[in-house]
Every structure is written in structure tokens, then in C-alpha cells.
Structure 1
């Protein structure tokens, strides 16, 4: 499994959010998100938005914590980065 999550620093809807990504495939990402009860509507083109209160649970399930710059770098290196205007 090659899944990563940044810190929940991103505000929205009165909460803080993190970004869950795969550096190998969207299929892997969708399967994992579904297995932890994250709805498909949480998918934002190249990542899932994860609320801060679920961050620890995601990490406990084996996802590697990292920083936001690394998330973008990994998505680009894997060819999975989708610019915001194309999402």
C-alpha cells in the first residue's frame, strides 16, 4: 500500500481537513477510502478530503503521514496530479 496523508491544516465548512493520496493508483485510493467509510463524494479529483477528527484513525490503519509539499510531489511523480481547474 502506498497511501499518504498530510496534516489537517485546510479549513472548510467549519472544520480542518487533510488530504489522503495514493502514489500508485486511484483504484487503491478508492478502495481504502471505502474500507474506512469515507464516501466517494469526499474525492476531489486526485485526493480524498479527510476531516481532522478521523486523521488518527487513518494513520492507525497504516497510512503514512507526510507534509503537503510531499503530497503534491508524490502525485506529480506518479502522474496522478490533477490541477484544480480540471477537477
Structure 2
């Protein structure tokens, strides 16, 4: 059971760069970690939380594993937790 975070490299609101926070085992684990991190529920999007660069170091300090965006997506898919947008 691991919570993963990719580098803050995605432009987003307030001029900040953003990361994705996911679990490679369960959404419950992800929601619990996000709550401990203080990330609001509105940051959840289907299978991940969007978190600003200002939260990245704290997420790692709490135990999130830093991985590349590619590795994050690979492990999310392998866990069967990837939820694509519906068209």
C-alpha cells in the first residue's frame, strides 16, 4: 500500500504548478491520506487528488512516494484504479 505523488509540473489555478496524488492499492487509502494532508475533497478527480506545489514537500514528509508522472500512471493502471473521463 503506497500513496504516490508526481512532480509539480502541471500548470493550474493561482499561477501554481500542481501534482497528482494517487494510491496504488485503494481509494480509501488515498482519501485517508488526503485528509491527513489537509487536502479538501474538491481536489479529488475520479482517481486522484490535484495538489499544489505548496503541499508537495508535506505529502512526501507524511510518507507519499515521489515518482515520475509515467510511473504514477503505470501503477494506478496496474492497481485497477484508473478511471478515465467519460465522453
TM-score, L = length of structure 2 = 0.93
Distance 1:70 1:42 in 2: 21
Residue of structure 1 in register with 2:81 after alignment: 80
Give deviations 1:37-79, integer Å, cap 9, x for gaps: 1011000111101100110010011110000000110111000
Equivalent residue of 2:19, what SS? strand
TM-superposed CA distance for 1:11, in Å, is 0.4
What is the correspondence of 1:54-73 to structure 2 with a 5 Å cutoff? 54-73=55-74
Q: Distance in 1 between matches of 2:37 and 2:4?
A: 15
After TM superposition, the runs of 4+ consecutive aligned structure 1 residues lying more than 3 A away are none
Counterpart CA distance in 2 for 1:46 and 1:77 is 13
**How many residues matched?**
85
Shift of 1:15: 1.2
Aligned to 2:6: 6
Computed over aligned residues only, the root mean square deviation of the Cα atoms, in angstroms, reads 0.8
User: TM-score when scaled to structure 1?
Assistant: 0.93
SS at match of 1:8: coil
What is the Cα deviation at residue 35 of structure 1? 1.1
Which residue is 1:15 aligned to? 16
